[in-house]
Amino acid sequence: MTRGIGLGMRRTAMGLNYLTRTAAFLYRHDHNAQSLSRKEKRPLVAANTPRKPPIGIGAMTASAVFGDLFAAWLFGFSALISIINPPAGALIFHGMTRWLTEQERARLARSIAINSFIVLLGALFLGAPILGFFGISLEALRIAGGLTVAVAGWQMLNEEDDNQRRESQAPAALDTAPVERMSFFPLTLPLTTGPGTIAASIALSAERRSSEISDIVLNALAFTLMAATVALTVWVAYANAAAVARRLGPTGMLIAAKLAAFVLLCIGAQIMLTGVVDALTPILAKR
């Protein structure tokens, strides 16, 4: 009986040992399986889940591009519009076309605006390559363009006698010429988009020259906006030249023309001064 009890206890101990080993094996197997499944699922979820960009990056990029475009346009527009000076040019335009009817003057103003847009686009897009082809430096261009603008302003300051004599004379051949012949020369070139405007346009394009695709696209948009807004301003000013002349009267027109001529002279002097400083700075730096 004692042997049977001992045998039963031995078998019970063996069974408990077997169950303990089995449970430990099952626990380790299940734990390893769960760890493996977690390791496999993590990269799968990360690969399938699209990465969200930080909030505001797209908006910041768009706003930065718009800011650069606006800054480039504003700088070029202010530079070109100060040289062209459409209000002063409108007074000169009215004096040169006073023998035309209102319809002919309106059509002429539209043609001048279109021609100005084409001239500005050509200078902005093709000016820098032309300078490089002929080996002309930007400093030389500024000096020559500033001198041309200053001479034009000086001539406008000293043409009072010519205007008074023109009032008493019969219409010249230029005044009665067809609108199509007057629209480009002399009313577009050199009156509106003269050498100073072309020189400034070439200088703008040369300063913003780049080889990056994004910069090229941005510059193209900025140049197109510059030319379009300047041409639109010229059209509005020239189309309303008769109304402005009637409001100012002869004395007011004379004062406005002289002020515009003096401002034009100062602009030419400033352009020349900038070119001289830029040309002398590298020379003086070497000493």
Please name the residue ranges forming H helices in 188-240: 195-207, 213-239
Alpha-carbon distance of 81 to 234, in angstroms, equals 9
Alpha-carbon distance of 119 to 12, in angstroms, equals 107
| pLDDT, greater one: 36 or 122 | 122
Residue 15 has what pLDDT?
Answer: 53
Alpha-carbon distance of 210 to 190, in angstroms, equals 30
| pLDDT, greater one: 32 or 280 | 280
pTM of full prediction above 0.75: no
For residue 133, the Cα-to-chain-centroid distance in whole angstroms is: 24
| pLDDT, greater one: 189 or 26 | 189
Phi, psi at 64, each rounded to 5°: -65, -45
| pLDDT, greater one: 89 or 111 | 111
Type of residue numbered 242 = A
Give the pLDDT mean for 259-275. Answer: 80
Contact 266, 83 (CB under 8 A): no
Q: Environment class of residue 269 by beta-carbon count within 10 Å: exposed (0-12), middle (13-18) or buried (19+)?
A: middle
**SS3 category, 50:** coil
HEC string for 8-21: HHHHHHHHHHHHHH
Residue 127 has what pLDDT?
Answer: 82
Cα 156 to Cα 38, 145, 268: the distances in Å are 85, 17, 13
Peptide bond preceding 190 in cis form (omega within 30 of 0): yes
| pLDDT, greater one: 71 or 196 | 71
Instruction: Provide CB contacts within 8 A for 120, sequence distance 6+.
Output: 80, 193, 197, 201, 226, 227, 230, 231
How confident is the model over 252-266, as pLDDT tens digits? Answer: 877 877 887 787 788
What angle do the packed helices 86-96 and 102-134 form, to 10 degrees?
A: 120
- Whole-number average pLDDT of the chain: 75
Q: Indicate the domain borders of the chain.
A: 65-285
Read off the tokens for 77.
């527009």
Residue 62 has what pLDDT?
Answer: 79
- The residue with tokens 């050199």 is 190
For residue 182, the Cα-to-chain-centroid distance in whole angstroms is: 31
**SS3 category, 261:** helix
